[in-house]
């Protein structure tokens, strides 16, 4: 059988304020281009997630305006024309290894109109590093916390601020980190009532939610 | 050893916009009263969660203004004087068994100032029931979805609306529902990017987050 | 020790109406050819499952009539002479990444005599795409639903139709999708009573069952 | 808040050929009666599942025609007027402890119009007991296999018959039976391609599916 | 068969510096008395753990010097004559519900000669409460941290002090706290290199280890 | 630091009737040769397990009498001079993919003196294949059953014979076979009381136990 | 429906050398008596397992020769006339809490003709207690090791003896003992090649296997 | 976005007595050099963990004094000037495959000032090997036990000595060793009260804790 063309949800950005993203793993360049071409006709930014550098190279030929962020593996094919939020969100990481996930959140939230403040490498094994940023944190509309290993940072941040905190467990760690599951459990059990959680390494989802809150 | 008095976080409502709640299970009436007495001196509502009816009976004697909601097992000792939000949030359930958790969210969000619209018993085994409420859902500031068993409702709602969706997995079900774990996994894996998740049966947390978003 | 020849269950198609398939992973070309040669003497189609393209290349030399479907990785060595069903089954996917599994179901069911209608890429993050196919779905003898991530589509379909629904969880997803386990749990917990489930990515099994129902 | 009346899916039997069942655990008698009263206005049988004897006693007062099956804990409030299938299904158990689940399947399938043959206590620790029933099994339209502990019976039956087999893992066992999870895994991994699986102890679901197949 | 007398490891305190404790659950009073009578002939304290109040009542009759701590459910039948350590250990809890486990550690460590400082109810949802105790913590020989839910406190303490930290996950929490498993995973994944962990609710073990370190 | 020489347990065969085996994965050729050289001075056979063909090639140069079995990846460096048992054991597999594990058992048991009868490819999806071997099975001293996927064969064999059955779950399968865990659970839950179980793919251990029973 | 009589496998002792046991939990007295009456007509002992004292009381009235062992909860209705083995087996426990399981093994093995030596309370926290019994252990035909918590004793015994060791994990422990699962994993991973394992608390199965080996 | 420089916790050794280590996996050489250059300005040793040989090669060019330990994959860039402890610790392994983890502990503890005695390859399948070292063990300040598979050695050592025992589960094993999880569970369930546990393969953490205890 010949699989007919793909029909991405071109209207999603108009309907919901955020677009369908093109998740690259497991798709051929041909499939990505086919989907992207349709999405480019809709509103909002057009984003390819988790794209290896070689994928970007091939997309660049077809879409010369494509821009690549190596850390987060995002390819941005179109920025869209999105109004900027008044308030800002913070994107926080426990360690340096969590930065790729955090960058996915930061860039996506920025593309969707949120102002973003990055606060990286402030984990709880030296918690004084976090407190330096206290004033910035308490004025944010939303804080996204990316942390692997034991993921304790989300609760500590949750106890400081009066806004929603989005926990993004990362797959950083070894042994019983279980590729992010332990960090996820930590965040889901948070004693801070303002913490909710997305899937492991789901920087995209957290960025979307952060931007929706920033723009309220 | 004589354990000294308890020191609840009386300033939390002032600092963060939501109060420390008194989780009743495992505490004696004496302990609950001791903590409550201190919290009553602070700002914001004073809430006891998961209180059996007998616990309420004893609290009522000490705090005659106490009010009890039997479904959610909440005791409200003080309502606080909280300004009301302009926008509203929706609290949605899949089935009737999810209502106690949903009521915890609804009542807590209401106490914290959010306007709340309840949409109960609209699960996906008859999804036409949900679509009747389409217009109300798409104008909400935030939607809280309480669902057990397979928890699929959070994704369906997430695909309809342009605001953050808070998934609350409930412990409703049997066999491989694993007391809410399956519903939680469903929500964490949601293909809708605007869904984040709290702990199983954590109506309180969802209500807090919903109110924080409604008031932005 | 010298392992004696293999004795596949040549009579299975005659006895049960579906043949023993040759699962390629972990078998040498020599072993596949040995087993296939025997099965070709029996009734019904002869199918090699999960065959890489290189495996097909080698089989083609030995069996020039071999046909390959690249998406599902099926090699069909013999089509058999199977009567066609009056009714039809639908094979449905949530996303494009679920298509290889769905194609395994569709092709196998077709080989075993079922008429097959494919309805692909209609997942719940944009559920309006599913409802376009309502009329086709409600007349099917059986619906096979292939979905990864949160697997919610099986329940939504289950609530629409009056025939058995076979859920095929796929290994599509990341993080707590646990390579299909979460989608499987979703389907096993379905609030729709007409849903039963096969192993992750088991398009073959679902195709067999679908054809057995179509032909009743 | 006063929870408004419940609105069960009265049209489900008309729409899908099987009714919404009333799952008794966690519901008050008042709630069951409220839901049942509405469902009695629709088509098809009205069934309460997992009802303790005391629940039946109270329902009997309100609905004098109510009938109780103690083994399966089913209360039948209305039988409906359902045409009988030509073919029959078999309901099979491994041990005597699996009979309550099997009876739920048998009675539900019977209420929905299927002819049912019961073959109980034929588990694999003495597999000769199964083979006595060979002739009856191979002519069935569908076989439901209820088994706990290691749940091996589903595969053995699956290898004998040319119809769909529905595996119902039961919570019978101890230690690493994990309340039916091990039996479920056995059935999902079945080397017989015609086996699909429902939730642990879900005799109701299996009975529904069995009846749908029998009536095709 | 008549089970012969029990032979507890009377020499353990002499050999290892800590005694065999009598774990009460599942033992009859007769068995506890039989074992205790023998252990009283050895060196060191004689301790019954997890004893309900009724068990204590019966032991008190036989051993009039028995002392009971209701919070930790410890019965001390003999204090022993143990030299006191120069340094001290801290026993810290996240919440009030963790106190019973902490008291088991504190009392056991005290009986074994350690000086003990209790710092209770200083969890990370209001982490300023912990920092008040900074000076006391950094001079301790060892810190025992008892915490349930997300168990994040162990890492925060681990990042402050220059001594070994013993994490004791407690079974406090609900939903995906999994009765202490999540808190345990948090502690085992700690980004602070000086944290090691004992079994859930194992205040006894932590107290033993704390005393061994204090006395070095 | 320079790690001193290795000291394998050269006396194990004399003490226990079976030798220490050299598990190849993770060891360098140099380490294997060092250990093997010492073991060759003891009694009993000298066996290297899970050796890739390239490892064998290198060992062959040092030990020219080395023999390799490609299926089981066993290298036999010395056969030993072991008396032969009167009775025999059977080694049984469900499918062809289980043969490498079965061969490890068969060859090891043979080296340790047991007479071995191989009965391969007789799984429950066509259980008539097993019954052909009934007479041979019931006279065995012990039966080793190697099976992956759902592992049901161990219970069926267990119900036929009057000797101990050793279940060896294999890592054959996909999806929820969980690399042998499901087959292991099946065997541990066996309703046949004479089945005990070894680790996944542990053909060596089963062969040792089988030989010990055969020689009693 | 009226469930027909039960048909226990009366010939099992004749066919396999051990009888079908009557597992009491979940059976009514009437059902136990019905099954027992039939089994009493066959060969071998008639045993009811896991019978509460009240169950025994009722059975005693019907079967005056019934004998009860309170520790193991076994009721023996008939001893059978079984020849005694020449060799003996050892049944070993780590702690006193493992004795009920060990007694089930010891009594069952004895009823089936094995001579049994009990070695109780010799766990690895004071491993010198085990070595006192070295001479008895090394002459046994088989050793059954019952241990909970970390279950390490099976490996230590396995390293001493030259016969098969049957590990019986017990549900003794708390926290991450997971009701015996951890002890089971320990035994399945044993570095001693002569250890195989049965289900948690399955003293019956171990006793059967021990007797079969003793009588070879 | 351009990620600003990294700010490692340079003061950690001064504050806590052990330094921040540089975990190599997932970091580029450039990142490692950047972090190392800063840490070299602080006190204490500078250590890169889990560095492949090629990483060492590149670091050696930049830091000519770098020393590599191939077994443990540690690169030591600076030894520091740390006073030596009076007492010593023992580092013990069950098998030869556990040595890389043990070496990480031994080298780290040595760098932090502890005297270290290595006792390798003394696992419980031949427990006599351990007892040869009895006198050395009982005088240690702390014993680190590295063991994979069933991890039973930690309990046996724990029962011999009167000091804290740190269990390091290793990922050595196959099947249900679950890459170290089973060994970890064994150690956490230890019946010896003086055993605490770190993450799987966390030789670094155990070495830190061991040195802290040795220096008390």
Transcribe C124-190 into DSSP letters: GGGTHHHHTTHHHHHT-SEEEEEE-TT-THHHHHHTT-SS-EEEEE-----GGGGGGHHHHHHHHT-
Chain A environment of C126 (Cβ under 8 Å): 9, 12
Work out the mean pLDDT of chain E and round it to a whole number.
93
Chain C environment of D21 (Cβ under 8 Å): 193
Percent with pLDDT over 70 in chain A: 96
Percent with pLDDT over 90 in chain F: 81
In which band, very low, low, confident or very high, does the pLDDT at E4 lie, cut at 50, 70 and 90?
low
Query: From C200, which residue of chain F is nearest by alpha-carbon distance?
Result: F175
Percent with pLDDT over 70 in chain H: 96
Percent with pLDDT over 70 in chain G: 96
pLDDT in the model for residue C1: 46
Contact E3, G99 (CB under 8 A): yes
pLDDT in the model for residue D126: 84
Residue of higher predicted confidence among D127 and C114: C114
pLDDT in the model for residue C94: 95
What does the block give as tokens for D62?
């309100």
Cβ count within 10 A of residue B41 = 8
pLDDT in the model for residue F1: 46
DSSP H or E stretch at residue G55: helix G53-62
Query: From B215, which residue of chain A is nearest by alpha-carbon distance?
Result: A216
pLDDT in the model for residue B6: 65
Tell me: pLDDT of H108 over 80.
yes
Tell me: pLDDT of G204 over 50.
yes
Q: Are E184 and H189 in contact (CB < 8 Å)?
A: no
pLDDT in the model for residue G28: 87
Q: Are D194 and C208 in contact (CB < 8 Å)?
A: yes
Chain A environment of H199 (Cβ under 8 Å): 174-177
ipTM of the complex: 0.95
Query: From F186, which residue of chain G is nearest by alpha-carbon distance?
Result: G199
pLDDT tens by residue, D13-33: 888 989 999 999 988 899 899
Work out the mean pLDDT of chain D and round it to a whole number.
93
Tell me: pLDDT of E2 over 80.
no
pLDDT in the model for residue A1: 46
Chain H environment of A172 (Cβ under 8 Å): 26
pLDDT in the model for residue F5: 57
Q: Output the DSSP codes for D141-206.
A: SEEEEEE-TT-THHHHHHTT-SS-EEEEE-----GGGGGGHHHHHHHHT-SSTTEEE--TT-HHHH
Average of pLDDT values for G127-134?
Answer: 91
Residue of higher predicted confidence among F173 and B7: F173
Helix (H, G, I), strand (E, B) or coil at B24: coil
User: How, if at all, do strands E142-147 and E165-169 pair?
Assistant: parallel
Q: Chains meeting E at 3+ CB pairs closer than 8 A?
A: A, B, G, H
Tell me: pLDDT of G166 over 90.
yes
In which band, very low, low, confident or very high, does the pLDDT at E1 lie, cut at 50, 70 and 90?
very low
d(CA H36, CA H15): 18
Q: Are H175 and F201 in contact (CB < 8 Å)?
A: yes
pLDDT tens by residue, G25-34: 988 899 899 9
Interface test with F, best of H173, H176, H178, H203 (most F CBs within 10 A): H176
Percent with pLDDT over 90 in chain E: 81
Chain B environment of E121 (Cβ under 8 Å): 6-7
pLDDT in the model for residue D4: 56
Distance from CA of B207 to the nearest CA of A (A): 9
Average of pLDDT values for F181-200?
Answer: 97
- The one-digit pLDDT tens for each residue of chain C (216 residues) are 455 556 678 888 888 989 999 999 988 899 899 999 999 998 889 999 999 999 999 999 999 999 999 999 999 999 988 899 999 999 999 998 999 999 999 999 999 999 999 999 999 988 888 999 999 999 999 999 999 999 999 999 999 999 999 999 999 999 999 999 999 999 999 999 999 999 999 999 999 999 999 986
What does the block give as tokens for H189?
């369930």
Query: From D174, which residue of chain F is nearest by alpha-carbon distance?
Result: F189
Q: Which residues, in sequence order, are CB contacts of E154 under 8 Å at separation 6+?
A: E145, E147, E165, E167, E186, E187, E190, E192, E195, E197
pLDDT in the model for residue D3: 54
d(CA A19, CA A13): 4
Assigned CATH for F88-214: 3.40.50.1970
Q: Are G212 and F163 in contact (CB < 8 Å)?
A: yes
Helix (H, G, I), strand (E, B) or coil at G114: coil
Say if D and G touch: at least 3 Cβ pairs within 8 Å. Answer: yes
Chain G environment of D175 (Cβ under 8 Å): 169, 171, 180, 184, 199-202
Q: Are A185 and E173 in contact (CB < 8 Å)?
A: no
Integer distance in angstroms from the first to the last C-alpha of chain B? Answer: 47
Say if F and B touch: at least 3 Cβ pairs within 8 Å. Answer: no
Give me the residue from B159, B193, B198 closest to A196, CB to CB: B198
pLDDT tens by residue, A100-116: 999 999 999 999 999 99
d(CA C46, CA C13): 10
- The one-digit pLDDT tens for each residue of chain A (216 residues) are 455 556 678 888 888 989 999 999 988 899 899 999 999 998 889 999 999 999 999 999 999 999 999 999 999 999 988 899 999 999 999 998 999 999 999 999 999 999 999 999 999 988 888 999 999 999 999 999 999 999 999 999 999 999 999 999 999 999 999 999 999 999 999 999 999 999 999 999 999 999 999 986
pLDDT tens by residue, F1-12: 455 556 678 888
Give the per-residue SS3 of H104-173.
Answer: HHHHHHHHCCCEEEEECCCCHHHCHHHHCCHHHHHCCCEEEEEECCCCCHHHHHHCCCCCCEEEEECCCC
Distance from CA of F173 to the nearest CA of C (A): 10
Q: Are D186 and F123 in contact (CB < 8 Å)?
A: no
- Give the E-side interface with B, CB within 8 Å: 69, 71, 96-97, 99, 103, 106-107, 118, 120-121, 125-126, 129, 172, 174-177
Instruction: Enumerate the H helices of B17-98 as residue ranges.
Output: 29-39, 53-62
Q: Are C1 and F106 in contact (CB < 8 Å)?
A: yes
Question: What phi, psi does F186 have (nearest 5°)?
Answer: -55, -50
For residues F153-184, one letter each, b for 16 or more C-beta atoms within 10 angstroms of the residue's C-beta and e for the rest, the string is: bbbbbbbbbbbbbbbbbbbbbbbbbbbbbbbb
Q: Chains meeting C at 3+ CB pairs closer than 8 A?
A: A, B, D, F
Q: Please give the radius of gyration of chain A, using alpha carbons only, rounded to the nearest integer.
A: 18
Residues of chain B under the 50 pLDDT cut: 1
What does the block give as tokens for F58?
């290198």
In which band, very low, low, confident or very high, does the pLDDT at E15 lie, cut at 50, 70 and 90?
confident
What does the block give as tokens for C169?
């969880």
For residues B46-71, one letter each, b for 16 or more C-beta atoms within 10 angstroms of the residue's C-beta and e for the rest, the string is: bbbbbbeeebbebbeeebeebebbee
Long-range contacts of H58-62 (CB under 8 A, 24+ apart): H58/H29, H59/H29, H59/H32, H59/H33, H62/H33
- Return the number of CB contacts < 8 Å for F and G: 87
Tell me: pLDDT of H5 over 60.
no
Give me the residue from E164, E199, E206 closest to H209, CB to CB: E164
What does the block give as tokens for A136?
């910035």
What does the block give as tokens for F35?
């250990």
Interface test with D, best of C20, C193, C198, C214 (most D CBs within 10 A): C193
pLDDT in the model for residue G23: 92
Give me the residue from A124, A150, A189 closest to E149, CB to CB: A189
In which band, very low, low, confident or very high, does the pLDDT at G115 lie, cut at 50, 70 and 90?
very high
Percent with pLDDT over 90 in chain C: 80
Distance from CA of C17 to the nearest CA of A (A): 24
Average of pLDDT values for E161-169?
Answer: 97
Query: From G184, which residue of chain H is nearest by alpha-carbon distance?
Result: H182
Give me the residue from B71, B121, B125 closest to D6, CB to CB: B121
Chain D environment of B172 (Cβ under 8 Å): 26
Residue the block writes with tokens 């941005």: A76
Distance from CA of G173 to the nearest CA of F (A): 20
d(CA C115, CA C87): 7
Of the candidates B155, B83, B142, B148, the one whose C-alpha atom is nearest the C-alpha of residue B116 is B142
Query: From A124, which residue of chain H is nearest by alpha-carbon distance?
Result: H9
pTM for this one?
0.95
DSSP H or E stretch at residue H60: helix H53-62
Give me the residue from F20, F31, F200 closest to H175, CB to CB: F200
pLDDT in the model for residue D10: 82
pLDDT tens by residue, C105-163: 999 999 999 999 999 999 998 888 899 999 999 999 999 999 999 999 999 999 999 99
pLDDT tens by residue, E80-129: 888 999 999 999 999 989 999 999 999 999 999 999 999 999 999 888 88
Give me the residue from B6, B27, B180 closest to E175, CB to CB: B180
């Amino acid at each position: 059988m010949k699989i007919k063309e793909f029909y991405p949800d071109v209207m999603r950005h108009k309907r919901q304020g955020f677009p369908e993203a093109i998740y690259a793993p497991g798709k051929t360049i041909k499939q990505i281009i086919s989907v992207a071409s349709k999405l480019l006709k809709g509103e909002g930014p057009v984003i390819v997630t988790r794209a290896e550098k070689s994928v970007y190279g091939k997309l660049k030929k077809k879409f010369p305006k494509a821009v690549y962020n190596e850390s987060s593996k995002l390819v941005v094919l179109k920025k869209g024309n999105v109004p900027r939020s008044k308030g800002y969100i913070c994107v926080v990481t426990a360690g340096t290894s969590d930065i790729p996930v955090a960058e996915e959140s930061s860039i996506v939230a920025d593309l969707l109109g949120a102002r973003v403040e990055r606060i990286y490498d402030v984990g709880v094994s030296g918690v004084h590093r976090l407190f330096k940023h206290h004033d910035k944190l308490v004025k944010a509309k939303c804080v996204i916390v990316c942390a692997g290993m034991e993921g304790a940072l989300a609760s500590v941040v949750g106890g400081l601020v009066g806004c929603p905190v989005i926990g993004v467990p990362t797959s950083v760690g070894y042994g019983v980190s279980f590729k992010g599951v332990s960090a996820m459990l930590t965040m889901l059990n948070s004693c801070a009532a303002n913490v909710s959680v997305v899937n492991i390494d789901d920087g995209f989802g957290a960025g979307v939610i952060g931007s929706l809150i920033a723009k309220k």
